[in-house]
Amino acid sequence: MSAPVVTIDGPSGAGKGTVARLLANRLGWHLLDSGALYRLVALAGERSGLDPEDVAGHARLAGALDVRFTTRPDGSERIELAGQDVALAIRTETAGAGASRVARWPEVRQALLARQRGFAESPGLVADGRDMGTAIFPDAPLKIFLTASAEERAIRRHKQLKEKGVAVNLADLSREIEARDRQDSTRSVSPLKPASDALHVDSSARSPLEVVAVIWQHGAARGLWPTA
C-alpha cells in the first residue's frame, strides 16, 4: 500500500510552509515543499544565464535538478543546488516571482511531477503547494486548503522576510503577493484552486499550532492517526 499523504494548498503567505513542517515533525512524516522546487528551477535558470522565457531550457533544468534538502542542527532548512547552499537565495520575493513565472509552463510542471510523487514514502507525507490535492496527489486521504486574508498574508510575509534579514516594503510586498496569486490562480495548467474534496481552513486568526490542531482533528476523524 502506498504511504498516506496530507496535502496543504493555498495562496502565498497563508502559513502552509510553517504548518506543513510542524505537522510533518509531529507525525514523523516526510515533507514536500513543492514551491521550493519551482523556486529552484527559476534560480537555476537565472544562474545558467537562460532567457527568462525559455520554456524548453527551464524544463530541461527541472528534469535534472541536482538538489538536496536537509535540516541543519538548529532545525532550519538547508537546500543545496549543485552543491551550493541556496536556502536564503530562493526565499526572496524575486525568486518567488521567478517561481510563479516558470510554474505557468506545463513542460516544467511535467518535469517535476515524478520527483514530487517520489516524496510519498512510508510512513507518510505532508505536501505543501498549490496543486498538491488537485494534480499531484488527487487520491490523498486528507486535503487542506489553507487561506488567510490578503492583509494578514502580507504582514506575515513581511515579518518572515525581515527575520531573514531581507528588507522589503509592506505596500510593495502586498502588490507582489497579489500579482503572484493572480498569476497562480489564472494560469491554464494546475491553477491554484481547492480540490473539490478539500477542507477549507482559515488561518487569519489562528496561530500555526492552532491550525495544526484543526488539521490533527480532521486526520484523527479519518483514522489517519490517533486522536491525541
Report the nearest approach of ligand DC to the CB of residue 58 (Å).
Answer: 13
User: Within 10 Å of residue 212's Cβ, how many Cβ atoms?
Assistant: 21
CB of 220 to ligand DC, least distance (A): 26
Between 1 and 163, whose beta carbon lies closer to ligand DC? Answer: 163
Give me the residue whose beta carbon is nearest to ligand DC.
35
Considering the complex, what minimum distance in angstroms separates the CB of residue 122 from ligand DC?
A: 22
Contact by Cβ (8 Å): 3, 129? no
Peptide bond into 123 cis (omega under 30): yes
Task: List residues near ligand DC by CB under 6 A.
Answer: 12, 34-35, 38-39, 96, 99-100, 103, 129-131, 180, 184
Nearest distance from C-beta of residue 218 to ligand DC, angstroms: 21
Q: Where are the alpha helices (DSSP H) in 49-102?
A: 55-63, 93-102
Q: Which amino acid is at 57?
A: G
In the complex with ligand DC, the residue whose CB is nearer, 81 or 99, is 99
CA 45, 73, 207, 169 dihedral sign is: negative
Which one, 60 or 109, has the nearer CB to ligand DC?
109
CB closer to ligand DC out of 12 and 174: 12
Nearest approach, Cβ of residue 228 and ligand DC (Å): 30
* Closer CB to ligand DC, 63 or 225, in the complex: 63
| Residue in 88, 68, 82, 189 with CA at minimum distance from that of residue 131 | 189
77-81 and 67-71 beta bridge pairing: antiparallel
From the number of C-beta atoms within 10 Å of its C-beta (0-12, 13-18, 19+), residue 130 rates as buried
